[in-house]
Chains A and B, each alone.
Chain A
Amino acid sequence: AQTVTQSQPEMSVQEAETVTLSCTYDTSESDYYLFWYKQPPSRQMILVIRQEAYKQQNATENRFSVNFQKAAKSFSLKISDSQLGDAAMYFCAYRWSSGDKLTFGTGTRLAVRP
């Protein structure tokens, strides 16, 4: 069974600084997708970024980028120029390419200090 581990329950960053959230996963599959979702206090789940395992290039979306290390089964999220609106729970998620269900980590609560 696939598992996703987020070892940092809470993180804190100064506004305008950079922070990296960690995620590791375990799978025997070679083709899969990895995601970061943001859950602000409103509880809405918002997709931040997606990475296809077959792509060597790390995904980027504006201030958000990932460091995908397939051999190490590591998928970290870097947030640059942190803003107050980035404060939220961040969930790492895995999906096998031929399947549909998302397997989530336990989340990292990010606080942004003004």
Chain B
Amino acid sequence: DSGVTQTPKHLITATGQRVTLRCSPRSGDLSVYWYQQSLDQGLQFLIQYYNGEERAKGNILERFSAQQFPDLHSELNLSSLELGDSALYFCASSVGSGGIPYEQYFGPGTRLTVT
């Protein structure tokens, strides 16, 4: 158990819908990362927040957005869902950001299926 929690574990929804994925980082970790794992794109970095502020952006679609709240949990919002958004979405957390050899600890993931 990494200490990172993600809810829900599974999500099945229809095209065009909107969903919210939730992540709670390990105690003491300030950084939260979102990654997408799909069959055709592999594991891709989406976005990072550090202590409530957006720190880095990767291949995140405009239909997707995220935020980190004062209690440091994070939510990833996916809207106007398409079949191709079906994937495993991972949240990871770390104590710091840049410059030091910290580890990123991954949550168990949320499996999103768009039908």
- Chain A positions within 8 Å of B, measured between CB atoms, are 33, 37, 42-47, 50, 52, 91, 97-107
Contact between A43 and B42, CB atoms less than 8 A apart: no
Q: Does B70 contact A (CB under 8 A)?
A: no
**B43: which of A91, A97, A100 is its contact (CB, 8 Å)?**
A91
Which residues of A sit under 8 angstroms from B25, Cβ to Cβ? Answer: none
Contact between A43 and B108, CB atoms less than 8 A apart: yes
**A101: which of B48, B90, B106 is its contact (CB, 8 Å)?**
B48
Which residues of A sit under 8 angstroms from B101, Cβ to Cβ? Answer: 33, 50, 52, 97
Interface residues on B, range: 20 to 34
- Chain B positions within 8 Å of A, measured between CB atoms, are 2, 31, 33, 35, 42-45, 48, 50, 55-56, 58, 88, 90, 92, 94, 97-99, 101, 103-106, 108-109, 111
* Cα of A106 to Cα of B37 in the assembled complex, Å: 10
Contact between B106 and A45, CB atoms less than 8 A apart: yes
* Cα of A97 to Cα of B90 in the assembled complex, Å: 22
* Cα of A43 to Cα of B103 in the assembled complex, Å: 18
Contact between A100 and B56, CB atoms less than 8 A apart: yes
Contact between A100 and B88, CB atoms less than 8 A apart: no
CB distance from A94 to the nearest CB of B (A): 11
Contact between B31 and A100, CB atoms less than 8 A apart: yes
Which residues of B sit under 8 angstroms from A98, Cβ to Cβ? Answer: 98-99
Can you list 18 residue pairs at the A/B interface with Cβ under 8 Å?
Answer: A42-B108, A43-B109, A44-B108, A44-B109, A46-B106, A47-B104, A47-B105, A50-B103, A52-B101, A91-B43, A97-B99, A99-B56, A100-B55, A100-B56, A102-B35, A104-B44, A105-B42, A106-B42
Q: A44-B2, A47-B103, A91-B43 are in contact. Are A101 and B108 (CB under 8 A)?
A: no
